[in-house]
Chain A
């Protein structure tokens, strides 16, 4: 202890040996402070935290520089979940004695872990929110909020007490009792806790409270009480269960309940699972089917495309076939020319090739695909051989006519007149051949042509005569 005036260490005397100041009263105040500190320490040791707080506060009212008392007060606050109050005491303590102060360690312990500090702050905010809910009559929300607070900070005595109060108001006595028991484990002699506890115990066991101590003994004889965690278990003593028939009956009831559970709880679940499996399989099959359908569509499109290509190629092929026919005609002409070059006098062979060429031309719908070179060569060849061809065909046709072979005469005479339009004899004999073969219409047409092409000739006069005969006969 030091002198408040000069700072000198004080002795057992009531005055300062350094400055002579009267320190009797001052020393008494210091002693009182220490005494309260000791009292607070004693209470804190037996977890009478509320009592410790009162004593330590008293100690600090006498001597604010009692660092031990202040640090202990902070610890007690911290133990009760009042972290900010604890921090406040430790900060003041550190300011009063910056060196060799355990408060420094306490502050460091809290401040070093930012997450923990945040959690503490959140806890306090939630507690305040819960209190606000209580003022607003939102008791359910307040209960939820307080449960969260206590999950973060299980030693928060005020939160336990408030939660217990809410349970009391909702007449949930067991829960209230549980909370108050937790409070009592933290702070054994808290007046509020004890008052609430008394109320709750009165509501839980009214006859016990009314009868006092002796009935309690009677109860104690019939029941066994023990603590399991936070629960108080009350078990009856000397209870004998009936055996035999009742056991069998219980067994039967148990089996029936089991079967009923299987029917009503397990089976629907199994059915549901089976349905889910079937649905999933169906989904898979459906997906596969869709994929195959898509493939089939693709294949059909390919087939259609190939069919179109085939048709296109067929058309091109038919065109080529037309070209091939031209080549064949060219071949026929070449053969005729070849025969002409080989033997110009072999008019029969040349005529045969030209006839074949003419027949092909008639079969291939004219000479539309023939080239200019082909036509020129054909015309040159015919021009060179025209006279010989006319003579050859006329002689052959007339010989057939004379032999009454009109079938043979008609084509030869036709070709003779075709190659030489001035050959009136060929035309006249052709008309006679048609008349004598019975084709009067054609004969009339040709006689008319003879009369028209060769007027004033013997052939025209005879043609007139035959024409008149035919007309008279009709």
Chain B
């Protein structure tokens, strides 16, 4: 049986157009490639 209250919690307010800019700026764009490069740089620095 569906629990209305629990289901309702899964719905979140949508982003409005005015908030889009802020959302874009706050988005974390770090990816696996960035992490790899950082790790390689760090290893190289430690070796030196």
Contacts and interface: CB of A to CB of B under 8 A. Distances in A.
Contact of B31 (A63, A87, A161): A63
Given A60-B31, A121-B17, A127-B14, A92 B4 contact: no
B31 A64 contact: yes
A127 B37 CA distance: 42
B36 A85 contact: no
A131 B40 CA distance: 47
Contacts of A195: 2
A434 to B, nearest CB: 135
Contacts of B14: 82, 84, 124, 127-128, 158
A131 B16 contact: no
Interface in A164-190: 165, 168-169
A131 B11 contact: yes
A84 B23 contact: yes
Contacts of A83: 17
A412 B20 CA distance: 139
A117 interface: yes
A110 B8 CA distance: 30
Interface string A105-141: 0000000000001001100110110010011000000
Contacts of B12: 131
B19 A84 contact: yes
Interface stretch (A24-32, A43-51, A238-246, A446-454): A24-32
A401 to B, nearest CB: 141
Contacts of A22: 40
Given A165-B8, A192-B10, A63 B17 contact: no
A62 B32 contact: yes
Task: Bin chain A's interface residue count.
Answer: 35 or more
User: Which size bracket describes the interface of B in this complex?
Assistant: 20 to 34
Nearest to B4: A169
A62 B31 contact: yes
Contacts of A165: 2, 4, 7-8
Contacts of B29: 64, 92
B24 A120 contact: no
Chain A at the B interface: SS class: helix
Contact of A87 (B20, B30, B32, B40): B20
Interface in B1-48: 1-2, 4, 7-8, 10-20, 23-24, 27, 29-34, 36-37, 40
Nearest to A168: B2
A60 to B, nearest CB: 7
B34 to A, nearest CB: 8
Contacts of B40: 22
Contacts of B19: 84
B36 to A, nearest CB: 6
Contacts of A26: 33, 36-37
A124 B31 contact: no
Given A88-B27, A128-B13, A63 B33 contact: yes
Contacts of B17: 83-84, 87, 117, 120-121, 124
A88 B31 contact: no
Contacts of B31: 60-65
A162 interface: yes
Contacts of A87: 17, 20
Contacts of A62: 31-33
B35 to A, nearest CB: 9
Nearest to B24: A88
18 contacts: A25-B36, A29-B36, A61-B31, A64-B33, A84-B14, A88-B15, A88-B23, A88-B24, A88-B27, A92-B27, A121-B17, A124-B15, A127-B14, A135-B8, A158-B14, A161-B11, A165-B4, A165-B8
Given A65-B31, A91-B24, A125-B16, 6 more contacts: A62-B32, A63-B31, A84-B17, A121-B18, A162-B11, A192-B10
List the 10 closest pairs (A to B, CB-CB), nearest first: A84-B15, A64-B31, A128-B13, A121-B17, A62-B32, A124-B14, A29-B32, A64-B29, A169-B4, A84-B20
